[in-house]
Amino acid sequence: MDPTGGWVKSPGSVCPEPPAERLLQLPGRENEACRHRRALLSDGFMNHPAPANSRYKPTCYEHAANCYTHAFLIVPAIVGSALLHRLSDDRWEKITAWMYGVGLCALFSVSTVFHIISWKKSHLRYEDTVWDCGKLKCFKEHNFCQCPGNEQETSLGPRTMEHCFHMCDRMMIYVFIAASYAPWLNLRELGPLASHMRWFIWLMAAGGTLYVFLYHEKYKIVELFFYLAMGFSPALVVTSMSNTEGLQEVAWGGLIYCLGVVFFKSDGVIPFAHAIWHVFVATAAAVHYYAIWKYLYRSPADIIRHL
């Protein structure tokens, strides 16, 4: 609080302003320490990096960007998936289009739902939030302070739905990687050994999903390694195919994903880092969709005639 009894709130805070009467008057030195720590937050565009094994808390502006950057892609993903299904010539192509389409639509849909829940819950979180401000811990719900350690924001109440959808958001990355490779593995000729990648990639996705369920947010470097390993392993098979049409687009899309990982791991370092990561994902997915649409289903001229 400031000397007049008001709550000093940084523009970067994700919490609404609580009633001043619910907070204790605190010694001047401790007040100044808390005020100084919270003033380090930027002007609403970025919060401090998350502590180890914890999730980053976006600002309100970052929450909005995280939602919109994927929400606007849900309808195009549905339309694009329906187009591939319409252009399928046989049952196997239809199954493959369905697999790819579900992965594409689920990625954007689950991501959007999670970020909406996280955004809305951030407005309510002040009721049970702990602020560690240097030597001062302010329990806003219970109106007293302690002296713990470094700055951190944690919620004392249950966050079951938010946590569940965050896990689903991470799980969908594994499913989406497998779905993105499915058209190339299913519709192109593969050698005897390479053909096993058609089912092995889904086994890797299942393993990644299980890992998220057991160790969510505990070993972030290991999780990142799994994402990259699953992304590059099928590429070795795809690039070895005799028919190389479309592989240049696949490579470009993979490069865009890899560049986006820099922002994926830069929350609290680069403002709107996660939203920028979403833009890279959308761009790479568009490049891969174009390659699948053009080289595995119909050429543009055939599509025009078909319509």
Q: What is the pLDDT of residues 91-144, one digit of tens each?
A: 999 999 999 999 999 999 999 999 998 888 776 654 444 444 444 444 443 333
| Confidence check: pLDDT of 25 > 90 | no
C-alpha angle 60/63/69, rounded to 5°?
140
Q: Which residues contact 136 (CB under 8 A, 6 or more apart)?
A: 26, 30, 33, 34, 145, 146, 147
The larger pLDDT score, comparing residue 206 to residue 19, is at 206
Instruction: Please state, in angstroms and rounded to a whole number, the distance separating the CA atoms of residues 212 and 222.
Output: 11
The larger pLDDT score, comparing residue 187 to residue 131, is at 187
**pLDDT, tens digit, 9 for 90 and up, residues 212-244:** 998 887 887 888 889 989 988 888 888 778 888
pLDDT bracket for residue 194 (50, 70, 90): confident
Task: Note the pLDDT of residue 124.
Answer: 61
What is the distance in angstroms between the CA of the first residue and the CA of the last residue of the chain? Answer: 66
Q: Where are the domains of the chain?
A: 55-124+157-306
Instruction: Please state, in angstroms and rounded to a whole number, the distance separating the CA atoms of residues 286 and 205.
Output: 21
The stretch 181-204 carries a mean pLDDT of: 88
Instruction: Please state, in angstroms and rounded to a whole number, the distance separating the CA atoms of residues 14 and 269.
Output: 17
The stretch 25-40 carries a mean pLDDT of: 44
Instruction: Please state, in angstroms and rounded to a whole number, the distance separating the CA atoms of residues 141 and 156.
Output: 10
CA dihedral for 198, 200, 201, 203, sign (positive or negative): positive
Average pLDDT over the chain, rounded to an integer: 76
**CATH 3.60.21, applies to 55-124+157-306:** no
pLDDT bracket for residue 50 (50, 70, 90): low
